[in-house]
Structure 1
């Protein structure tokens, strides 16, 4: 089984990537599987800037091809917030629950048809002697007034998907991978996926814990 290194320490994102890559026979590694401690400060103003920053920084540090993603929630009634600050919306030390609480509080009194939102994901593939490539995807939905479901992570419990008549947190991992923003980004990578995965596997194999 080949392996792919995803530049993240997020366990929820790892599960999402595993759901997407395992059917292709690809084992997912994250920065938690690398002996070096790598923490890339996300200073970009957009998802694109942050994804490229993470991918290129980790690729340069490890000398390997790396896939990095930056993703988050955009709520129209909040002028696109939390956006790139999705993971730290309620503060740097806050968690998913507090982030959700803040979003729901700021949406208090906003009618359901005005609670439109989308998850956005940008994937950046970077490595030695290769031009960084970017793929993006999104998933449209509505923000509910209360949490529903126990699957997923982040804002999934309050992100309602009309086509499924359920929140993201009520979907199975397989169902989510088919309609998620991350899945959409990977579908755009589809035409080049086999070639890129081969390169990733060749460069990371037997070197993932250097």
Structure 2
């Protein structure tokens, strides 16, 4: 009898994301052997070609599940700014034109809303989390989490990544970059999405 936890592949090569999700799942009581796609050298990167967080998350999860033969989970997330009609949204990671350039993305976003008054600076972090199992009969499940707040006028804090330094969640007086990793993980959009996905992940 094999009591080893089920191996699940997270569709990312980002070690920070893997560590963050391991901490979130452990806090939720989900016991799995979570690994990234770097463990599978033959798996190609998946282009995010869908037009929604849910579509991109499911696209990545299905591709990785089929490539590895293991259950796969993926997420797609970003910041949605009210004054920009929900943008950057799915383009958050490449808002300034180059994927993953956090500083340039932040500078552009702050410039675009520099003249927006405080009462109209509402924003939300949104995350879609998807689970896919290999094969034609494998499950395909997507859950969403979000955290509402306001967009600050300048950076605050050194923690987190992405847009954390300019986002203040409702109910807090600091940015998400000023929260400890543990505090952020308890309230984050990613935590909420994976908390919703967790019951499906641990199904026998």
TM-score over 0.5 for the alignment? yes
Deviations 1:19-69 (A, max 9, x none): 202343444311223222421000001111101110111111111110011
Match in the other structure for 1:202: none
The unaligned stretches of length 5 or more in structure 2 are none
Partner residue of 2:19 out of 15, 18, 21: 15
**Separation in 2 of the partners of 1:176 and 1:93?**
24
Deviations 1:167-206 (A, max 9, x none): 11111121111111011112222433422xx6xxxxxxxx
| Structure 2 SS opposite 1:110 | coil
Q: CA deviation at 1:10?
A: 2.6
Indicate whether 1:54 and 2:44 are aligned. no
Higher helix share: 1
Please report the TM-score for the alignment, with normalisation by the length of structure 1: 0.87
CA contact under 8 A between 2:24 and 2:185: conserved in structure 1?
Answer: yes
Please report the TM-score for the alignment, with normalisation by the length of structure 2: 0.89
Indicate the RMSD between aligned Cα atoms, in angstroms: 1.7
| Structure 2 SS opposite 1:134 | strand
The unaligned stretches of length 5 or more in structure 1 are 199-210
Higher RCO (C-alpha under 8 Å, 6+ residues apart): 1
Q: Decide which moves more: 87-96 or 66-75.
A: 87-96
Q: CA deviation at 1:94?
A: 5.5
